[in-house]
Amino acid sequence: MAKMRADFIWMNGEIIPWDQAQVHVFTHALHYGSSTFEGIRAYETPDGPAIFRGREHYERLLFSCKVARIPSPLTVDEWMDVTIRVLQANKLRSAYVRPLVFRGYNTLGVDGRGCPVDAIVATVPWGRYLGTDAIENGIDVQVSSWRRMAPNMLSPMAKIGGQYVSSQNIVIEAKDNGFSEGIALDGNGQISEGSGENIFIIHKGVIYTPPLSSSILGGITRDSAMTIAKDLGYEVKEASMSREMLYLADEIFFTGTAAEITPVRSVDRMPVGDGKRGPITKAVQEVFFGIVEDGAPDKWNWLTHVKLG
C-alpha cells in the first residue's frame, strides 16, 4: 500500500513541505502515548470541499487535551482556520484531516508536563475505510475478547493516543480471526463499541445505541445518525445492552468518521436479520451521504465549505 502523504502539512505554526515534519526519537508521546488527536473528513460536494462538523471535532480535541493535561496550542476557531489553509495548500477536494497534539522532546519522566507541546494538522487523500462495498453490503464482525477500557481506569470519552492500544487489540484480533472489525463489551459486560466506531442496533423498528456510560467515545457521526434517524421519525434510545441484543437485532450499523455509516451483516458468524443491509440503515445512510456528498440541503449546518483558489 502506498504511504499516506500530501504535499504540505501544518506543524507548530507553519505550513511546511510534508517531508520536513520530523520529530526526535526521544519525543515523549512515542514512549508513553501522551498525545491527543482527531479524525475529521472533508467531503467533495457539488460546491467544492467541505469539512464535516469540524467545530465539534475541535471541541472534542480541546476536551481530550484537558483530560490529558496537554494544553491545546490553538482555539477551535484557530484549528478550523489552519485546517482550511492546509486543505487549500494541498488543493484537496476531499480528505481525511488528522490534527495531533503531543508532548515533544525534553526529558523521559513519565509526567510529560516538562516537555514542549507540539502539534500538526495533516490533510491526506483517503477513501472508504472498511472497503467500498462495505457501505452497501455490510461487514462481518466478532465480539472481541478484549473489553473497552473502564472509565475509572482511562478516559474512553477522550481521544488520547495511548488509549488506542485498546482499539489496536480489538481490530487486530478481529482481522486475525477473519473478521473486518470487533465489538468490545464494557467492563460490566454490556455492549460498548468497535475499535473506532459506535454501534447502533435496530430491533422491532426501534433504534438503540449504547450510552456514554458504556465506555464509548461520544462519536460525532453517532450524534449525526441519531439526529437523522429522529428526523426521519424513528424512535432512538440510548440504552445499556447485553451481548445477546447483537443476535436479536434486525439490523446493526457502525458509525464513525472513518467507517461513515456501515452496515454489519453478521456477528460471530450469525447473520444479522437476513444478512443484508436493512431498510432503516439504508434510510439513515441516504440522508447522511445526501448531505455530505450529493448536495442535499445542509439543514443542520454540518458543513464548512472551503474555497480552493
Q: Write out the catalytic residue numbers.
A: 159
**C-beta of 115 vs 228, nearer to ligand PLP:** 228
Answer yes or no whether residue 255 interacts with ligand PLP by CB under 6 A.
yes
Contact residue for ligand PLP among 45, 64, 257, 285 (CB under 6 A): 257
Nearest to 198 by CA among 143, 150, 256: 256
Select from 28-36, 62-70, 120-128, 219-227 the region that touches ligand PLP (CB under 6 A).
219-227
Contact residue for ligand PLP among 90, 155, 221, 262 (CB under 6 A): 221
Select from 42-50, 86-94, 217-225, 284-292 the region that touches ligand PLP (CB under 6 A).
217-225
Answer yes or no whether residue 161 interacts with ligand PLP by CB under 6 A.
no
Instruction: Show contacts with ligand PLP in window 178-207 (CB under 6 A).
Output: 193, 196-198
Shortest Å distance, C-beta 222 to ligand PLP: 6
> With CB under 6 A, what is the number of residues at the site for ligand PLP?
14
Contact residue for ligand PLP among 54, 112, 210, 219 (CB under 6 A): 219
Contact residue for ligand PLP among 45, 94, 167, 262 (CB under 6 A): 167
Shortest Å distance, C-beta 144 to ligand PLP: 12
CA separation for the pair 61, 101 (Å, rounded): 9
Which positions ≥6 away from 254 have C-beta within 8 Å? 130, 139, 181, 194, 197, 198, 199, 200, 261, 262, 264
Applying CB under 6 A, the residues found at the interface with ligand PLP are 39, 167, 193, 196-198, 217, 219-222, 255-257
